[in-house]
Structure formats: structure tokens, C-alpha cells
Amino acid sequence: MRNGFFRTIVALITVAVCATSTPASAETFSRNLRQGDQGADVKALQVFLNTYPETKIADTGPGSPGSETDYFGSLTKNAVIKFQEKYAADILAPNGLLAGTGFVGVSTRAKMNALASVEITDQSTTTGTVPLALPTEGQTANDLVFVMYPSQYSGAAGTSLSVLGGGFTATNNTVHFGDRYAVEGVPSGNTSTLNFTVPKAIPFGNYSLSVTNSNGTSSKDAFFIVIDPDVPEPTISSVSPTSGRNNTSVTITGTGFTPTGNVLRTSQKIYEDVVSPDGKTITFTITFPLDTPPGITRAPIELPYWFYVINTHGVSGPGHFTLEL
Amino acid sequence: MNLLASRDKKLTRKTKIIAIILITISIVGGAFFFAKKVMGLGVFVFGGPIVWVDYCTCSGNMRLTIGPPVPGRYVFQPGASMLYLFYQVYRPGPWTLGGGTAGGSCSIYVGTGCATLPTSGTIRMIGTSL
């Protein structure tokens, strides 16, 4: 009976979790932790809690996904309480407790260590029996399999998504979200399109998108952002100035910019980890290698220069600047 | 209520973005099939990732090297080449789909003067991934 139940679970599409800088070993959390503690394991605790939407420490700033710290503060304590109450039967009840305490003791550590070594599973719209498997290390991109773009660049978990590209096999395509998550066993009816549902277990975040199958592995240039549907995506409301010469400093005004970690995808280059101290403005300098050389006469040109703000909240609409060279 | 309104707004915005993408693909894809019929008139089509960008400093334009499946080296001429979503055309990496016509040139400053780089035509319309 138990084997049959387990096989049923395995028959669902799985999301494979592989180790990152915080190894998911059986004893990842080896000491008790409480508010005020500091250390690498506190940071690992925050990363772990941010894996689940209901125990996320913060939306932005210190402790938020991607900005975890090594300090156990009040936000971390609150997230631990939520975790303990989520798994009350395993953590609180055996100790005669009715409410979470925020203290990461033996029972809490045992539950976290157990979950950290289990692969997240989720059911997608793809049917069929799919074995559990971790992404194969050492695979390099080749030209036989390529991803051009997804049908949309952001969406909530559970979104129906299409990936357009080439070299997809009839069965057993694995779509990778970054290095930690994957949807396996995705079929393709035409070698150029993969249709599947973004698994609900994938945390919010900006993921590279790639495909692996018997033909090889695609590059990781495409991306998809799993968004929190309750948080608005970034928007661009104005650009100042709207035109200018080379080396102009441009200020983008809008909403939904994160303090750090914004990516600016422009027509000419990608600016990584762009800051927005106030969440409403981003400033960057356009440097374009097309100035008129010395001694050369050339008619002036006006170059359309477009950009998008991308962060964990999603993708903005386009902003525009006219570069005068 | 605000959550539902916010979600509806997101869906509407996403629907618009998807519609724009599909329309762009249709336009460029339509141009692809139309151009295939007039290849003899010097019209070309291309589709693939931007592999390299040469900045033609003397002629004030750029030469894009497009990789397979339909590769080529074409001039992007400001003012003449129409840009479509997502406009990521001046850097390697994005996937493209587009078409153009014969003619055009790219010359680049080489320190003592200008040198002409070989090209296969000028882009008339190009859409890219993000």
C-alpha cells in the first residue's frame, strides 16, 4: 500500500531541488538558534524560510529573498514562528506547545533538516510517469537545443507557460528554472514549443530558463520571474532627460523598484544589480561606442535606446531615450 | 476587492503584453513569408540570435551578425531599420526575427582611416527577445 502511494506521488511531475551554496545535507542545522544569534547557519535558516511563501522573512530589504543576512532578528523570529505553527504536529505538539516560540530547537531543527533533504514535488498539467532526478552536472550548452524566449517573462506560480526554441524532443524535456528547480518530462509536439505549468513550489525570484534533453542543454540566456501576485510589477512612468548625447546620466522614475538587485536590460547592454534607494528612481549612464572618430565627418544620427527594469517583482514596460550621436 | 482589482489589472496588462508579442511575431512572421516570395528582388529574411555587433563608427550604423537557423550579417541603419519588441538590438544574445533589402554598408574607423566591413543588406524590420 505504502509503495503504491509513493509510486503515485512519483508519478506526478517533480520539481528537483539540488544543492547550492547551502548544501541540503541531512544535518544542515546543527545548533539551536534564537533571536540575537549570528552566523552562517542563521543565513542558511533565512534562505530556508524564504523558500516557502508563507514563511518568507521580508519582501524587501535585509532578510528578503536574495538579501538574507547572518543575524537572527525579530523578522527571522516571526518567520520561525510561522514555520513552527505550519508544522505544529511535528514541532509543537510533541512538546506540549500550542503556539510557535521563535526558538529553533531540536524539534524545529529536525523538521527543517528533514524538509531540506526532500525534493519539492508539484503537479503540473503534463501527465505521465516521471522519475525523480536531479539536473545532471557538467552539461554544457550546444546549438542543438536552444531557447529563444518564453511566452511571457513573468508570472505567478501555477501560470501556464510556453517556451519557444528548437531541438526539443517528443518526450523527456527538462525545463530548468535556475540551478535549483526543474520541471521534468515535458513533451513537445513540434520540436519548437514546450507547454507546461510553472510549479507552485518554486519560490518567488528571477530564474534563468534552459532546457535539457537527449540532444543536449540549451544556454541560459532566457529568463522567467516567478512573481508574488500580491505585489505589483515594476513600472516606468517617466525618463529624464528623454534625449541626449553619449555619456548622459538618465533617471528612470517609476514604481516597484527594489533597493538592490534591479536588472536594467537595455538595447545595448545589461546593467546588473542596479540600486534604487527610494524604490522610485533608478539612475544610469548611457555609454555607446559609436562616437564620430577624430578627423571623420559623419551626419549626426538619432538612435532609439530602449530599456526595461527587471527585478523579483517582475518586468516593467519599456522606457525610451533618444541617443544623439 | 483591491486584490482582485490588482490581479485583474495584472491580467489585463499581461494580456496586452502577450498580445503585443503575438502581433509583433505575426507582423515579422508575415514579413518573413511575404519576403520568401520576393527573394529574387533582393529581399532577405533572417532569424537567430545576435552573435556579434560591430559599431560602424565611420558610417554611423551597426552591423549585426545573426546566428543560425537563418544567419547573416546585416546593417542596422538608424532611421531606416524599424525596431519591434523588445528592441534589444545593439548587443549580442537576444533572439531576432526580421527582414531587409539589399544595399547599405558599414565602415569602421581603424586608426588611420575607415575600412568597409562586408554585409548582405540593410535590415528593414527586426523584433527581438528580451
Test mutation, B70, B90, B116, B126, chain A, max A CBs within 10 A? B90
Question: Of A226, A252, A280, which residue is a domain's last?
Answer: A226
- Give the phi and the psi of residue A83 in degrees, each rounded to 5: -65, -45
Residue pLDDT, tens place only, A57-89: 888 888 887 778 888 998 999 899 988 888 887
Give residue B91's Cα distance to chain centre.
11
Average pLDDT of the residues in A297-305: 92
| CB contact (8 A) between residue B88 and residue A265 | yes
Clarify whether residues B34 and B78 are in a common domain. no
Clarify whether residues A184 and A202 are in a common domain. yes
Number of structural domains (chain A) is 3
The more confidently predicted of residues A230 and B12 is A230
Residue A163 pairs in a beta bridge with A150, A194
Reply yes or no on whether the pLDDT at A18 is more than 80: no
User: Could you tell me the residue range of the domain that residue A264 belongs to?
Assistant: 235-290+298-324
Clarify whether residues B71 and B89 are in a common domain. yes
Are A261 and A312 within 8 A, CB to CB?
A: yes
Residue listed under C-alpha cell 528592441: B87
Clarify whether residues B119 and B64 are in a common domain. yes
d(C-alpha A311, C-alpha A258), whole Å: 7
Are A152 and B18 within 8 A, CB to CB?
A: yes
Clarify whether residues B107 and B93 are in a common domain. yes
| CB contact (8 A) between residue A290 and residue B57 | yes
Reply yes or no on whether the pLDDT at A168 is more than 90: yes
Residue B24 has a pLDDT of 56
Clarify whether residues B55 and B115 are in a common domain. yes
Whether residue A2 is contained in a domain is answered as no
Sequence-separated (6 or more) residues with CB below 8 Å from residue A149: A163, A164, A222, B95, B129, B130
Number of structural domains (chain B) is 2
Clarify whether residues B49 and B113 are in a common domain. yes
Element (H, E) at A76: helix A74-86
What percent of chain A lies above the pLDDT cut of 90? 53
Residue B99 has a pLDDT of 96
Clarify whether residues B79 and B109 are in a common domain. yes
Q: Which amino acid is at A318?
A: P
Average pLDDT of the residues in A155-167: 95
Residue A14 has a pLDDT of 35
Question: Of A88, A112, A136, which residue is a domain's last?
Answer: A112
Clarify whether residues B55 and B15 are in a common domain. no
Residue A223 has a pLDDT of 95
Cell matching residue B46:
533572417
**pLDDT classification of A15: cutoffs 50, 70, 90:** very low
| CB contact (8 A) between residue A318 and residue B6 | no
Element (H, E) at B12: helix B2-37
Residues on chain A touching B58 (C-beta within 8 angstroms): 293, 296, 298
Clarify whether residues A243 and A317 are in a common domain. yes
The more confidently predicted of residues A187 and B8 is A187
Clarify whether residues A68 and A88 are in a common domain. yes
Whether residue A127 is contained in a domain is answered as no
Test mutation, A144, A301, A302, chain B, max B CBs within 10 A? A301
Residue B23 has a pLDDT of 61
**pLDDT classification of A10: cutoffs 50, 70, 90:** very low
Clarify whether residues B28 and B54 are in a common domain. no
pLDDT-flagged residues of chain B (< 70): 1-12, 14-42
Clarify whether residues B82 and B120 are in a common domain. yes
Element (H, E) at B8: helix B2-37
Clarify whether residues B67 and B94 are in a common domain. yes
Reply yes or no on whether the pLDDT at A163 is more than 90: yes
Task: Round the average pLDDT of chain A to a whole number and report it.
Answer: 82
Whether residue A60 is contained in a domain is answered as yes
Clarify whether residues A213 and A239 are in a common domain. no
Whether residue A176 is contained in a domain is answered as yes
Q: Supply the CATH number for residue B93's domain.
A: 2.40.50.140
Residues on chain B touching A311 (C-beta within 8 angstroms): none
In 10 A of CB A75, how many CB atoms?
20
Residues on chain B touching A289 (C-beta within 8 angstroms): 55, 57
Test mutation, B18, B86, B114, chain A, max A CBs within 10 A? B86
The answer to whether the predicted template modeling score (pTM) of the entire model surpasses 0.90 is no
Residue of A68, A65, A147 lying closest to A311 (CA atoms): A65
**pLDDT classification of A110: cutoffs 50, 70, 90:** confident
Reply yes or no on whether the pLDDT at A308 is more than 90: yes
Residues on chain B touching A148 (C-beta within 8 angstroms): 95, 129
Concatenated DSSP letters of A238-263: EEESSEE-TT-EEEEEEE---SS-EE
- Burial class from Cβ neighbours inside 10 Å (0-12, 13-18, 19+) for residue A314 reads buried
Residue A134 has a pLDDT of 29
Residue A273 has a pLDDT of 94
| CB contact (8 A) between residue B91 and residue A155 | no
Give residue B93's Cα distance to chain centre.
12
CA distance A141 to chain B (A): 14
Residue pLDDT, tens place only, A249-269: 999 999 999 999 999 999 999
User: Could you tell me the residue range of the domain that residue B12 belongs to?
Assistant: 1-41
Clarify whether residues A51 and A94 are in a common domain. yes
Residue B25 has a pLDDT of 60
Reply yes or no on whether the pLDDT at A125 is more than 50: no
Question: Of A174, A208, A226, which residue is a domain's last?
Answer: A226
Clarify whether residues A202 and A247 are in a common domain. no
Clarify whether residues B47 and B85 are in a common domain. yes
Residue A221 has a pLDDT of 87
Whether residue A181 is contained in a domain is answered as yes
